[in-house]
Structure 1
Amino acid sequence: MQTYFNIRYEFDRKAVWERIDRQVKEGKADYICVADGVILDHANRNPEYLKVVNGGMFAICDSSYVPLYLKWIYGKRYEQYCGSQIFRDIVAGRKYRMIFMGTSQETLDGLQNRLAEMNPEVKGMKFIELPFRKVEDFDYPEIARTIEEDGADIVWVALGAPKQEIFMSLLKPHLKRGVMIAVGAAFKFYSGTDVQRAPEWMVKHHLEFVHRIYKEPKKQLKRCWGIVSTLPGLLWGEWRRSKKQPKVRA
């Protein structure tokens, strides 16, 4: 793991999979944050939320821009591992029992049907709509009982950032086992009933944010403004930290 922009990232995909597998085998409860630009922005504005993001196993890098910044500042090459990709990898891997929590029942129904095409075992798994309420008002002991009775190894959570990360941190003390992963928009992307992910050429050229602004202008423009206003200070701070260590070319 490496800490950049104050977030504990794990960029090595093999290490991500090995750590998840070990956590499941050891029967321990924990969570993984999928850190996109929104989480990066919120975490560096709110120290308590930063503690939540860094309080789990690690964060994977959902932002396509963070690797570019790190290449520029440190000369190191890292890859993005976005939420929708780890979601697909684990579901298609057919290795774990899973439970899916959050969003609307319509989206969950569509998601179950779509995921069953890549993993037929999904048909026998639970898709649970969580009520719309403040994050501190959920009945965490009851949610934990539902998960443990199900025997799920992986708990997918989609409540949107920063709510879903706080949800996982509050649920963790009540769980005996299971790896929680917050994937935000992945439920929508794979449900076939909501916003679709950007075309591959836009993702490849770091233009996914343009697609999301087009689909959800009010929501995404507000988020982008927050990210842009925070970014100069983050880049400056990371550049100053880089001067304390030799730059190594990848």
Structure 2
Amino acid sequence: MKHVNILGIPFSIINHDYLIKRLSQHVQSAEKSFVITANPEIVMQANEHQEYKNHLLRASYITADGIGIVKASKILKNPLPERVTGYDVMMDMLQLSCDHQYSIYLLGADKETLLSTKNNIEKQFPSIRIAGYHDGYFDWNNNRIAEEIHEKKPDIVFVALGAPKQETWISQHIDQFTKGVFICVGGSFDVISGNVKRAPLSWQNINLEWLYRLLKQPRRWRRMLALPRFSYRIIKQRVKNSS
């Protein structure tokens, strides 16, 4: 798998459809895999916290869940083919799970959102096998989540704890498993549950999904402060690469 280095983070040069194909192959072969869908905010956190960066570097695939990453790859003259978002990956993997009887596990969100997510998945994918689920509000150092997943042996684990918790949790526990595709899906449970509305396709097509989310959730403005710092660092990397 080829990569493009964006501020020390190796993004997989892969499109959405091929990633889904690869993940399905991992499930069929009972192989482990760790998928991170990263945006500029995650990249900046990794650059500021080495321990978190080490967790990211354990991933099998890191994809561009943000147009800022795609644009950065073009500036660095090693373009990524497209955005590959956590939500889109989750929805296609749910369809595959329904079609091929893969079992899934859901980890994240509050209890009400999690149950709504579970119920809506079962409505949309009637034959899906949900091996188990657990909300995201647990004692980090005193829980049996990993043991439960190990016992139930799901084919796919969707982890919606938000960054940096979801990447950290998978990195810290993945060695305990012999199989399973572990996918970081951020706020996807909020969308599937109906609590949050995803940006219309018209906004997505012009790469303004981030602005739509900001307008709907103004409290996200602090997170957006990472964008100008990210842009500055990308320009510095481009100059360094050219010299």
TM-score (norm 1): 0.85
Q: Deviations over 1:27-78 (max 9, x none)?
A: 3434111112221221122222112112121211111122223234417462
Answer yes or no: is the 8 Å Cα contact 1:34–1:182 preserved in 2.
yes
Q: Which moved more, 1:1-10 or 1:55-64?
A: 1-10
Q: Is 1:119 matched up with 2:125? A: yes
Aligned residues: 237
User: Which AA in structure 2 matches 1:157?
Assistant: V
The offset of 1:232, in angstroms, is: 0.4
Identity of aligned residues (%): 24
Which residue is equivalent to 2:116? 110
Instruction: Please report how far the alpha carbon of residue 172 of structure 1 lies from its aligned counterpart in structure 2 after TM superposition.
Output: 0.9
Matched, 1:162 2:168: no
Determine whether 1:19 maps to 2:22.
yes
> Which runs of 5 or more residues in structure 2 are unaligned?
none
- Residue 97 of structure 1, aligned match among 71, 95, 103: 103
> Corresponding residue for 1:149?
151
Once the two structures are superposed, residues 199-233 of structure 1 have per-residue CA deviations (whole angstroms, 9 ceiling, x without a partner) of 11111112112222222222x11111123223201
Kindly provide the CA deviation profile for residues 163-185 of structure 1, in whole angstroms up to 9, marking residues without a partner as x: 11001111112222211111011
Per the alignment, residue 216 of structure 2 pairs with: 215
Residues 117-142 of structure 1, C-alpha deviation per residue, up to 9 Å, x if partnerless? 33113364423213344x4x253xx3
Partner SS for 2:128: helix
**CA 1:80 to 1:29, structure 2 compared with 1: closer, same or farther past 3 Å?**
same
Contact 2:104/2:130 (<8 A) preserved? no
Instruction: Quote the Cα distance in structure 2 between the aligned partners of 1:130 and 1:77.
Output: 32
Q: Do 1:97 and 1:125's aligned partners in 2 also have CA atoms closer than 8 Å?
A: yes
Tell me the equivalent position of 1:234: 234
Report the aligned-residue RMSD: 2.1
Q: Is the 8 A contact 2:16 2:89 kept in 1?
A: no
| Alpha-carbon distance in 2 for matches of 1:55, 1:188 | 26
For 2:53 and 2:239, the matched residues in 1 are separated by: 20
Is 1:86–2:89 an aligned residue pair?
yes
1:100–1:126 CA contact under 8 A, matched in 2? yes
Query: In structure 2, do the counterparts of structure 1 residues 77 and 7 end up closer, same or farther at CA, with 3 Å as the change threshold?
Result: closer
- TM-score, structure 2 normalization: 0.87
SS at 2:225's partner residue? helix
Cross-structure match for 1:204: 205
Assess if the C-alpha contact under 8 Å between 1:202 and 1:208 holds in 2: yes
- Alpha-carbon contact 2:55-2:167 (below 8 Å) kept: yes
